[in-house]
Structure 1
Amino acid sequence: MAVSSAFRRHGLGKRLVNELETWAKNHGFTKIILMNGGPKEDARAFYRAIGYLDNGMKVVSVEPHVEVFQLAKQL
């Protein structure tokens, strides 16, 4: 999920995440875990600002080696 750079800082990302969280709650989910790959500190900062906590790193591919950051939020 992403918002084009031309449309950032208008609340769209927060609205998208709020809709996801509402849908998840309504379908019985109690936690959301996000995976964020690459050097996207701005994305991680956004998720932290709306209540997501760092949940460590995970290797999702060995060859080529790919690591992603995980963020999680209890609903």
Structure 2
Amino acid sequence: MNLGMGSLPARRPKVRPDDIAVVFKEHEWAYRQLDKRVTRVPNALTDAGVPKGHRAVQVGFNHPALKRSRMTQ
């Protein structure tokens, strides 16, 4: 079954958790680490009172934090 690109961030840590997902300057993050960080974003928004289904925006420079926030669903 083809689940599409949108499900890649959720699937990849289960399939290849120790493969490198992101390289930025001297830092590397494996898919397992990326998944852990990606799930923090929606959890923090929920804890702050943002209802499920609402939208949020992040403005910033080209940085891994910006990429992680774009992967949340």
TM-score normalised by L of structure 2: 0.35
Greater share of strand residues, 1 or 2? 1
Greater share of helix residues, 1 or 2? 2
